[in-house]
Structure formats: structure tokens, C-alpha cells
Structure 1
């Protein structure tokens, strides 16, 4: 997944949730990657905001 912030910085992450492998979706209102399967949430860089996931999303190098 890709998100370009207000400063033009591109944030790239693998959108496979680290909990059970579902595909996370971008939540524009909250600026987070959210998993529809079990509710895990990640920040723009893929760090865990809310579980059940314990590991960050994998980053994709530019």
C-alpha cells in the first residue's frame, strides 16, 4: 500500500496484516491501515496502533 503525506513523503507498506494475513485497507479519516478481519490497526508507517497484531506491517523499499 502507498500513502503520500501532506509533506509529499511516500510511505510504502505490505498490506498483508501480520495477525492472520488479511489485507488491510487505508482509512483516510483516521490516517491508518485497518484490518477488516480482526480489527488490527497500523499507523502510516505500518507500526501497530491496536491489536491483536503484534508485529508491524512489512515496509517496502522505494
Structure 2
């Protein structure tokens, strides 16, 4: 994984609230005893928001 084109600073407060709520909901629904079942939907959520991307990580100033 690597950082996406956007940072959390690019999201509105509403988008941040919705993102956090979605992560919490997925945690409750899917985490169970398997982190792999949990990680996949969380990563897809972050990719959809362009906060992370697939590929090699590179140094990034935050």
C-alpha cells in the first residue's frame, strides 16, 4: 500500500464523519476473529476515498 492522491485534510468534516462511521460499522460486522476479513473492506473504503493506493510505498511529507 501507499498513500493516495488525497489526505484526510482534503475531506470535509461530513466526509470524515462518514468515513469513520463506515470503518466502525465494518469493524463490528466483519472483524470477528479474522483480520483478513476485516482488512479487505477497510482497504477498499480507503482506496475509494483516494487516501491509499495499491503499489509500492514512497516517502511522503505529511
- What TM-score, normalized by structure 2, do the two folds share? 0.25
Tell me which structure has the larger Cα radius of gyration: 2
Q: Which has the higher helix share?
A: 2
